[in-house]
């Protein structure tokens, strides 16, 4: 077999979806290695959940946590803490982390840009604006995810239109457009806070990012929306993989690129909106998690999407545990805590080339 590096320069294809060093790395990731890595990440999810159930402002021994989970209808202080307070919060953290991880991996493949995530592209800001407006207007919480989806999708369409193209200039325009749209949405949220003084504290705390005070109804609501989003994402794995190769290569495989782009963009917006409605604006999870998983399972969406979902769940569960314990009994907003990690990571990626 002739390796790509052995071909003369003129014989190489003008469309090179992945650089040669990346191809070499992917070839060394056998199916067995990917399966092992994915299994390890999957095993970290229940471990992180158990740790989060035990640790908090009040420490609950593992034996009491296990007893509360086995007998959820029993009574007692440990039962109230574990089942009534911490368990729904941990489950929401799992859902939010999984959703942001999948949305980030999907958007990076769609735009072929390693600096893309729901926060950078303005999807989170648009969803947050629509949700904040709905909260201020007193709309029922069950309707907020649908409205957040419309807001996130609208901003995503604007950003995609301004930053379209596979060229480096298109990638720069995409990031700049996302920053501009996010700033505009944040300014609109500020106006909502000024106009609705009675609701500003609740909206402000929600915008800072966090899942404090969420209960079992919120778990049910977000799980329904995310189940739909994940189902649509898995059904479009082949299209996501083709879009990773670039528009020209995708058309060469007979794919209707424009229709696939809008379909996948809508899926990422739906997942992001479901997360935003229960957790507020949490940035950088969708940026960091896919990059951490790509060396372990490759950029193939069939492996990257589930790996990003599992790793995102671990990250948000542990981050939420730190948010409620570092300054206990006070609580650090989850979005603020993750920003301290995510911003340096973003700057690090901006200074070096990263393969998709």
User: Phi/psi at 5 (nearest 5 deg)?
Assistant: -70, -15
pLDDT, one tens digit per residue, over 148-197 is 888 888 887 888 777 665 555 656 677 788 888 888 888 888 888 777 65
Question: pLDDT grade, residue 74 (50/70/90)?
Answer: confident
Question: pLDDT grade, residue 210 (50/70/90)?
Answer: confident
Alpha-carbon dihedral angle through residues 179, 182, 187, 193, given to the nearest 10 degrees: -150
Tell me if the domain spanning 44-350 has CATH number 1.10.3470.10.
Answer: yes
**What would the mean pLDDT of 206-233 be, rounded to a whole number?**
85
- The three-state (H, E, C) secondary structure of the chain, written as one string: CCCHHHCCHHHCCCCCCCCHHHHHHHHHCCHHHHHHHHHHHHHHHHHHHHHHHHCCCCCCCHHHHHHHHHCCCCCCHHHHHHHHHHHHHHHHHHHHHHHHHHHHHHHHHHHCCCCCCCCCCCHHHHHHHHHHHHHHCCCCHHHHHHHHHHHHHHHHHHHHHHCCCCCHHHHHHHHHHHHHHHHHHHHHHHHHHHHCHHHHHHHHHHHCCCCCCCCHHHHHHHHHHHHHHHHHHHHCHHHHHHHHCCHHHHHHCCCCHHHHHHHHHHHHHHHHHHHHHHHCCCCCHHHHHHHHHHHHHCCCHHHHHHHHHHHHHHHHHHHHHHHHHCCCCCCCCHHHHHHHHHHHHHHHHHCCCCCC
**What would the mean pLDDT of 11-18 be, rounded to a whole number?**
44
Q: Please determine, for residue 80, whether its predicted confidence score (pLDDT) is greater than 90.
A: no
Q: Please determine, for residue 228, whether its predicted confidence score (pLDDT) is greater than 50.
A: yes
pLDDT given at position 171: 61
What is the chain's mean pLDDT, rounded? 81
pLDDT given at position 170: 58
**What would the mean pLDDT of 18-45 be, rounded to a whole number?**
74
Domain ranges of the chain: 44-350
Question: pLDDT grade, residue 58 (50/70/90)?
Answer: confident
Q: What percent of the chain has pLDDT over 90?
A: 25
pLDDT given at position 192: 82
Q: What is the pTM of this model?
A: 0.81
Radius of gyration (Cα) for the chain, nearest Å?
21
Question: pLDDT grade, residue 302 (50/70/90)?
Answer: very high
**What would the mean pLDDT of 85-100 be, rounded to a whole number?**
93
pLDDT given at position 301: 92
Residues in Cβ contact with 39 at an 8 Å cutoff, skipping those fewer than 6 apart: none
**What would the mean pLDDT of 339-347 be, rounded to a whole number?**
78
> Contact 282/316 with Cβ under 8 angstroms?
yes
């Amino acid at each position: 077999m002739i390796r790509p590096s052995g071909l003369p320069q003129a014989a190489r294809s003008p469309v090179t979806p992945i650089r040669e060093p990346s191809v070499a790395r992917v070839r060394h990731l056998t199916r067995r290695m990917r399966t092992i890595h994915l299994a390890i990440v999957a095993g970290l999810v229940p471990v992180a959940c158990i740790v989060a159930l035990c640790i908090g402002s009040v420490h609950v021994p593992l034996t009491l946590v296990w007893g509360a989970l086995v007998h959820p209808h029993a009574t007692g202080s440990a039962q109230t803490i574990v089942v009534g307070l911490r368990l729904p919060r941990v489950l929401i953290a799992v859902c939010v982390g999984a959703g942001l991880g999948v949305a980030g991996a999907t958007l990076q493949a769609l735009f072929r840009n390693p600096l893309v995530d729901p926060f950078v592209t303005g999807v989170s800001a648009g969803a947050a604006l629509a949700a904040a407006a709905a909260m201020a207007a007193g709309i029922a919480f069950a309707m907020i995810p649908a409205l957040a989806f419309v807001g996130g999708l609208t901003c995503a369409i604007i950003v995609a239109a301004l930053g379209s193209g596979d060229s480096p200039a298109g990638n720069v325009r995409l990031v700049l457009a996302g920053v501009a749209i996010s700033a505009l949405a944040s300014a609109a949220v500020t106006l909502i806070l000024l106009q609705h003084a009675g609701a500003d504290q609740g909206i402000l705390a929600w915008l800072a990012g966090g899942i404090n005070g969420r209960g079992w109804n919120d778990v049910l609501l977000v799980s329904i929306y995310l189940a739909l989003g994940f189902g649509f994402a898995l059904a479009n794995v082949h299209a996501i993989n083709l879009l990773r190769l670039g528009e020209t290569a995708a058309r060469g495989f007979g794919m209707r690129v424009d229709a696939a782009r809008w379909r996948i963009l809508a899926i990422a917006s739906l997942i992001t909106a479901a997360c935003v409605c229960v957790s507020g604006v949490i940035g950088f999870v969708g940026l960091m998690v896919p990059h951490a998983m790509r060396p372990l399972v490759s950029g193939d969406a069939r492996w990257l999407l589930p790996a990003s979902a599992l790793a995102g769940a671990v990250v948000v569960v542990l981050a939420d545990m730190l948010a409620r314990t570092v300054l206990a009994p006070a609580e650090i907003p989850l979005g603020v805590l993750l920003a301290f990690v995510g911003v340096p990571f973003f700057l690090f990626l901006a200074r070096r080339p990263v393969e998709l």
